């Protein structure tokens, strides 16, 4: 198949690598707002060539839109305007409710399969693209019944070809789930980085001693605001709910410290340890 | 040298492996409150033999105390009571002010070198001991001037033998630094685990989709309360200060979401990204 990838960053670029390696794509065309990104993507052999959106869509079987989610609101209607009913469009965005609401009246809506491969790193841009980013992880297909059966089948084949497991959710459940298992982690990490960076202004040696545990909890704080602000904006209500719960849990720890209630502190940590059963 | 390690867990056990491998210790004796731990440590070849504290100290050149920090308050005076002025005692605890205050009048205080190797994982017990845990990381020697010069020298040789870099801090600075670069990360992670586990009670499938980013931020939530509650207890004031700053930073994010002030949110993430310069 000929595959166009719109947005050749971490996700789009990694997908380009995997789909070429496994033969799903006989050709990968890249479309990016930045010509610098397009050049880098060609130099790194992520894509075969770069061209305008219109030209690229005309010669593609599958179009994958992998831009930040705010850009998707603009690009996806354009892509759907350009396609025939033989072509399939996939978006890979981290939020779904707002996007699918905006597209629901589009005459070609059924050619779009809304998906979310749950994989990533804290890096961005074509230089962040890596092989095997998706292997063994879950992808979500959202509101499957709003897409044509043949389009869903091609999306499933594509994700199976890069060895992803597939889950099915509606848009509302998807956005709530991802707020819990992805979006809140990022806010937690941004805030931790800011707290310690503030201290560093007066104490430049503090990071020498940073433990690997600290590195692990602030890793996500390297993530790009261009990707994340649109996600928090589109998933604001869910993120706010969980941020409230998170702050409330931290405040409980604070109260226990104030009261020197170390027995309750111990029990809370034991409860938190239950995460062992879930995260290997 | 003959080395006794009191407390054969993650740190004590990993140190046993490294000191045997590099020949610093010609014999390692283990002392543990749990005979089960002692048996495991022998089976895993972490220690040559296990015996009572008194017998072990009598035949050792160096005694390393690697128990949880509450136990140190009891064990370290016992060890110092037993030694001659040819022997060296090292503690490897994560908090220092309270411990060193409690020991400051002990007649053998100068034989103790207070140290903190900044290394670890979220696991505990002798089964958690691993080779090369310390390689390339920092260890802190605390209140160096309160220890005899020859004792400090042996501590330095020991840490250099396991390829650690050495930093020197006083107890107050040490406890404040570690609160920032280690202790707060753990509270952040425990609270995140609790928030998501609470949600899971009503939605058992939520973790299927957990991203690797989520795994990274909650990894530390697997850490043992037996180790961590005593640390939070002994470092309560520093931890409370930083927890307040952390909650306040999170509340700023919350306010920006309420006000839909995404420009400020963007700037805050850009600021947090500065952590890139510091954590590789």
pLDDT digits (tens, 9 = 90+) for A62-103: 999 999 999 999 999 999 999 999 999 999 999 999 999 999
Contact list in A for residue B269 (CB cut-off 8 A) is 190, 223-225, 228-229
The CA distance from A236 to A183, in Å, is: 10
- What count of other Cβ atoms lies within 10 Å of the Cβ of residue B165? 12
Residue B106's SS3 state is: coil
In tens, the pLDDT along A174-194 reads 999 999 999 999 999 999 999
Q: DSSP code of B114?
A: E
C-alpha distances in angstroms, B200 versus A99, A278, B140, B211?
26, 10, 40, 15
Same domain, B105 and B6: yes
Last residue of a domain, one of A113, A148, A169: A169
Same domain, B103 and B141: yes
Which chain B residue is nearest to residue A197, measuring alpha carbons? B275
The average pLDDT across A126-147 equals 96
CB contact under 8 A, B206 and A180: yes
Which chain B residue is nearest to residue A277, measuring alpha carbons? B222
Same domain, B96 and B196: no
Percent of chain A with pLDDT over 90: 91
Interface test with B, best of A116, A119, A181 (most B CBs within 10 A): A181
CB contact under 8 A, A217 and B185: yes
pLDDT band at A272 (very low <50, low <70, confident <90, very high): very high
Last residue of a domain, one of A142, A169, A196: A169
Same domain, B55 and B80: yes
Interface test with A, best of B245, B275, B276, B279 (most A CBs within 10 A): B275
Residue A212 has pLDDT above 80, yes or no: no
C-alpha distances in angstroms, B135 versus A207, B20, B123, B162?
17, 14, 18, 6
Does B118 contact chain A (CB < 8 Å)? yes
* pLDDT at site A246: 97
* pLDDT at site B154: 98
The average pLDDT across B164-181 equals 95
CB contact under 8 A, A211 and B118: yes
Residue A204 has pLDDT above 80, yes or no: no
Of the candidate ranges A128-132, A199-203, B16-20, B154-158, the one whose mean pLDDT is the lowest: A199-203
Same domain, A107 and A162: yes
CATH number of the domain bearing residue A85: 3.40.50.720
Same domain, B243 and B223: yes
CB contact under 8 A, A249 and B167: no
Tell me which residues of chain A, numbers 57 to 76, contact chain B at a CB-CB cutoff of 8 Å: none
The CA distance from A89 to A136, in Å, is: 23
Residue B91's SS3 state is: strand
Does B34 contact chain A (CB < 8 Å)? no
CB contact under 8 A, A185 and B218: yes
Residue A247 has pLDDT above 80, yes or no: yes
CB contact under 8 A, B229 and A269: yes
Interface test with A, best of B124, B201, B210 (most A CBs within 10 A): B210
pLDDT band at A210 (very low <50, low <70, confident <90, very high): confident
Same domain, B159 and B179: no
Query: Which pTM value belongs to this model?
Result: 0.92
The average pLDDT across B70-75 equals 98
* pLDDT at site A256: 98
The CA distance from A132 to B204, in Å, is: 28
* pLDDT at site A205: 73
* Closest CA–CA distance from residue B125 to any residue of chain A (Å): 15
Question: What is the value of ipTM here, to two decimals?
Answer: 0.92
Residue B99's SS3 state is: helix
pLDDT band at B101 (very low <50, low <70, confident <90, very high): very high
Residue B125's SS3 state is: coil
* pLDDT at site B136: 93
Does A132 contact chain B (CB < 8 Å)? no
Residue B90 has pLDDT above 90, yes or no: yes
Domain carrying residue B216 = 174-277
Residue B203 has pLDDT above 90, yes or no: no
CB contact under 8 A, A181 and B268: no
What average pLDDT does the structure give for chain B?
95
Last residue of a domain, one of A169, A187, A209: A169
CB contact under 8 A, A253 and B190: yes
Q: How many CB pairs under 8 A join A and B?
A: 292
* pLDDT at site B85: 95
Residue A211 has pLDDT above 80, yes or no: no
Residue B50 has pLDDT above 80, yes or no: yes
Does B250 contact chain A (CB < 8 Å)? yes
In tens, the pLDDT along B206-236 reads 777 777 788 889 999 999 999 999 999 999 9
In tens, the pLDDT along B21-39 reads 999 999 999 999 999 999 9
Total count of domains within chain B: 2
What average pLDDT does the structure give for chain A?
95
Same domain, B137 and B258: no
CB contact under 8 A, B209 and A138: yes
* Closest CA–CA distance from residue A192 to any residue of chain B (Å): 6
The average pLDDT across B119-134 equals 94
Same domain, B86 and B106: yes
Same domain, B24 and B100: yes
Same domain, A196 and A149: no
Does A196 contact chain B (CB < 8 Å)? yes
- A30, A89 contact by CB (below 8 A): no
CATH number of the domain bearing residue B247: 1.10.3660.10
Does B241 contact chain A (CB < 8 Å)? no
- Nearest by CB to B275, from A121, A193, A253: name it: A193
* pLDDT at site B221: 96
């Amino acid at each position: 198949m000929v595959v166009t990838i719109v947005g050749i960053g971490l996700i789009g670029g990694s997908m380009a690598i995997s789909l070429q390696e496994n033969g799903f794509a006989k050709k990968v065309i890249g479309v990016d707002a930045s010509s610098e990104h397009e050049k880098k993507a060609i130099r790194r052999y992520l894509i075969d060539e770069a061209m305008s959106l219109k030209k690229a869509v005309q010669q593609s079987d599958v179009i994958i839109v992998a831009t930040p989610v705010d850009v998707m609101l603009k690009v996806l209607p354009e892509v759907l305007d350009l396609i025939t009913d033989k072509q399939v469009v996939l978006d890979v965005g981290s939020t779904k409710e707002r996007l699918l609401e905006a597209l629901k009246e589009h005459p070609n809506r059924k050619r779009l399969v809304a998906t979310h491969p749950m994989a990533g790193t804290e890096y961005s841009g074509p230089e962040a693209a890596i092989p095997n980013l998706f292997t063994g992880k879950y992808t979500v297909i959202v509101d499957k019944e709003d897409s044509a059966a043949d389009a869903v089948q091609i999306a499933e084949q594509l994700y199976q070809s890069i060895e992803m497991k597939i889950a099915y959710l509606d848009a509302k459940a998807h956005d709530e789930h991802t707020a819990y298992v992805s979006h809140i982690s990022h806010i937690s990490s941004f805030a931790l980085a800011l707290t310690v960076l503030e201290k560093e202004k007066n104490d430049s040696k503090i990071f020498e001693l940073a433990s690997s545990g600290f590195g692990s909890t602030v890793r996500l704080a390297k993530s790009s605001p261009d990707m994340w602000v649109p996600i928090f904006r589109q998933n604001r209500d869910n993120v706010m709910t969980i941020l409230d719960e998170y702050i409330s849990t931290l405040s409980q720890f604070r109260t226990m410290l104030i009261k020197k209630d170390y027995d309750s502190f111990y029990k809370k940590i034991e409860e938190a340890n239950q995460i062992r059963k879930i995260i290997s």
